[in-house]
Chain A
Amino acid sequence: MSGLKKNLALLSRVELRMISPSVNWINSLPAPEGLLESFQLRGRQSLQLAGLPASSDEDWRFSDLERIKLLFKLPLASRASKFSGFSEQQLPPSSSSDTVRFVVRPGMDSQSLPKGFSYISSNELNRFLGNAIDHSAANDDWSVALNNACAGRVLALRVNGTDLPSLEMVLDNAAGELAATRIVLVLEPKTHLDLQHIVLGNSDSSHSHLLEIYLGKEASLNHGWLALGGGDATCVADLVIQQDLRSEYALTSVQAGWTLSRLHQHVVQLNGFAKTILRGLQCTKAHEEITTNSTVRFDGPEGCLEQLNKAVAIDSSHSIFMGNIDVPRVAQRTNASQLSRNLLLSNKARVDTKPQLTIVADDVKCSHGATVTQLQEEELFYMQSRGIGSIDATQLLLKGYCQDIIKYLQFNDDRSNIIDQLIGRL
């Protein structure tokens, strides 16, 4: 269904929803302008029509929608906002000394770029902007509409070559404000890049982030997403990835510390023969709610997907995983596996997991699995019988559990700090 048609279909529902919070808020946004003007108009129209997400929307059925309402109370962060800033010590050490670091804020200035990196001109950007979103049918997603409505500028980078310095993008936050940021990243054919996203959140800051990635033929991207929140911070992010022939995309995401965090991953393998690896770890405590929602569509043959999503939930927190795999008729000889593993460590915590396979091609290997368990008593007993106290034994098991994912983050050899930080929280 096209966006417009869907919007029309939504019209009848509009009256039923409480749209007033969003209407007032949308009216308070700066007037649409610049390169993203058409996106801003479209996003605001979508938000006005759709209002807040409803629990009847499949993507939101497990979520606490009251927290989303709070987003509509925050003013937009701008160039003039007071950003939290961060010290080098707050960030994990970069993987190499020649890392290119961007501190991504609304209204950020451009900076000089090393060899292999260039900004995409406005004219050329029209070829890319929104293209991957259209392809992945994510246009009508509420979180995409939110970013469309709010983001005023876009950081667009082209990367070409091999043996490039790794790229680090730090998403800064401003207390009591919603920072809407948008990035387009184009990897030319045969390019290899390591990209680390670090998302920071403090007090009641909020992020809306939209990242479009275009992987050319035989390009490969090793992508880390480390999102560490604090206080009542929230983060809603969409990663939209379009892969060409024989490209490889590997994502390692780690989320912790957010009152509300939603990471949507939309991957489309355009012409097949591509490989996607999605690894995720989400740790929740107190009343936090973290969601990973991935959709992988194979639009060509011989595509490959390896997905492993892990979660640890304690206290009264809520961990959600939704994983969609779409294998249409053209995607013969697809090989896709998905595994959702969850540790539920408290009786008040909640885990929801919903894998979803839609398969039409017949010559495919597709499997998925899901487990929700606690720490194995036998393993705890084994360690205790060797003199390790129960707290240490628990921490050791949790470390091992998290290490499975964190080891793929491309930070310097001090990754154990990240693990300690996560385990310490739990």
Chain B
Amino acid sequence: MTSQNVVEDLVSQPYKYGFVTDIEAEKITKGITEDVVRLISSKKNEPEFLLDFRLKAYKQWLKMKEPNWAELGYSKLDYQDIIYYSAPKSNQKKQSLDEVDPKLLETFDKLGIPLSEQKRLSNVAVDAVFDSVSIATTYKEQLAEQGVVFCSISEAVNEYPDLVQKYLGTVVPLNDNFFAALNSAVFSDGSFVYIPKGVECPMDLSSYFRINSGDVGQFERTLIIAEDHSSVSYLEGCTAPMFDTNTLHAAVVELVALDEASIKYSTVQNWYSGDENGVGGIYNFVTKRGQCRGHRSKISWSQVETGSSITWKYPSCVLQGKDSVGEFYSVALTNNMQKADTGTKMIHIGPGTRSTIVSKGISAGNSSNSYRGLVQMGPKAVAARNYSQCDSMLIGDKAAANTYPYIRSQNAISSIEHEASTCRISEDQLFYLQSRGIGFEEAVSMMVSGFCRDVFNQLPMEFAAEADKLLALKLEGSVG
């Protein structure tokens, strides 16, 4: 077998998380109408302001067109053929994990996210979201002692309506884009985090999103607010079963960092990516944006994107506060027929703002992996700085790696540096490693890992290990 074939085989490992949990679910009828929006709101006992928010978003969405500028070439979605709400029966959130359906706990156990008390990850609080609802949140009480609120957004709407009303839709307006408007109209659940003034969150917070039904769209909404002088590290993971149909995931994440606050948001996205012919897989259209509103605030996005048949995702930072900092570290791996169009926007508004972008794209099979980013220096962004680095690695001669960085500067006393390169796994380096007794598979794995090291270094420890494992998984196996 030639080394090229081996490499291609290495990246074609089966999806481990494709099982379906057989659990009775309550689903509403397919399609989206104003009544459906009202129904979702009423099922969640939402206050009037949120219903208004949803209805406004729905009306805006009706007027909007699905964007096609990314040329992702996916088959058109029928938005009336999607179920917009599904929850395991008797979805009343349990007070104790002992009351949660054991099948659900087992599902999350199989995914490596133990929720039961004795197996809990130490020092990581988890919010587990199954289809449209949050199943369980761990360590809530311990967090509450410090004033940290970590719960599902549905709970937050009822328990902290003022906070939700104050911040919801302020970072990603309800008419921001087609998918954000859809999410604003029908979002079902997600996580809510509030870190009070001066509090450094005592543990990492984590949400785990699981799509279980093939015909249900997942529209989660996450809102994180870090008050002055606070900090939090938030982790997010995603998986879905294998279906022949495409499932829609349109999430919105909003982050708000006030004076000297810091938010670190890490994602390992491993949605089902479809089979080798591109059948099935998740359509992942996500709007993630953070606003550094306070001076010296900081928002850092780190992501490892390996799943989804289509990814359309640009975690962004709006740097308003003086001397605020935005960071984006990303590894995107595409294989088979996957198409990923991902990148970031760094909008520098305030003076002295700084941003760093490090993006690593790995394309294999017939996939297409694009980096699309914007760095913008506004007229008041005096002495702002940006550094961007986008590297692509190609495995096989059928994959595509594209780079579309947009750079706009309106400030003379600011500086932007962008660099990008494209390469493949060097045969010389492979030969060198093999000549020193390192197996082919391990050598490839080491080189990919080295290629991504800049990003992995930014991930929290638990996630760095998971990400490394995830890439290794995609690379392990059939060395002949």
Contact = CB atoms under 8 A, between A and B. Distances in A.
Interface of A: 58, 62, 329, 332, 342, 344-374
Given A359-B394, A369-B417, A372-B416, A342 B409 contact: yes
A353 B419 CA distance: 13
A352 B406 contact: yes
A346 B409 CA distance: 11
The 7 closest A-B pairs by CB, nearest first: A362-B394, A370-B418, A372-B409, A372-B416, A357-B403, A369-B419, A366-B422
Nearest to B408: A352
Residue among B69, B398, B406, B415 with max Cβ neighbours from chain A (10 Å): B406
Given A345-B412, A355-B403, A362-B399, 15 more contacts: A342-B409, A344-B411, A347-B412, A353-B407, A354-B406, A357-B420, A359-B401, A364-B424, A365-B421, A371-B415, A371-B418, A372-B414, A372-B415, A373-B415, A373-B416
Contacts of B423: 365
Nearest to B372: A356
B402 interface: yes
Contacts of A367: 419-422
A348 B407 CA distance: 16
Contacts of B420: 355, 357, 367-369
B74 interface: no
Residue among B400, B404, B407, B414 with max Cβ neighbours from chain A (10 Å): B407
Contact of B397 (A348, A360, A368, A372): A360
Nearest to A319: B409
B396 interface: yes
A349 B412 CA distance: 8
A148 B438 CA distance: 62
21 contacts: A58-B69, A62-B408, A344-B412, A347-B413, A348-B379, A348-B410, A351-B408, A352-B406, A353-B407, A354-B405, A355-B403, A356-B403, A359-B402, A360-B400, A360-B401, A362-B395, A364-B394, A365-B421, A367-B420, A368-B418, A371-B416
A373 B407 CA distance: 12
Contact of B409 (A58, A350, A365): A350
Residue among A329, A342, A349, A361 with max Cβ neighbours from chain B (10 Å): A361
Q: For the side of the interface on B, what is the size category? A: 35 or more
Nearest to B406: A354
A332 B396 CA distance: 11
B392 interface: yes
Given A368-B420, A369-B417, A351 B409 contact: yes
Given A362-B396, A371-B416, A374-B412, A352 B407 contact: yes
Nearest to B374: A354
A358 B411 contact: no
Nearest to A356: B404
Contacts of A358: 400, 402
Contacts of A344: 409, 411-412, 414
Nearest to A374: B412
A353 B377 CA distance: 12
B15 to A, nearest CB: 24
A370 B405 CA distance: 9
A346 B410 CA distance: 8
Given A347-B379, A362-B424, A365-B422, A370 B398 contact: no
Nearest to B386: A372
B397 to A, nearest CB: 5
A373 B414 CA distance: 6
Residue among B399, B411, B415, B419 with max Cβ neighbours from chain A (10 Å): B411
B179 to A, nearest CB: 19
B403 A368 contact: yes
B424 A370 contact: no
A367 to B, nearest CB: 4
Contacts of B408: 62, 350-352
Nearest to A324: B404
A402 B398 CA distance: 41
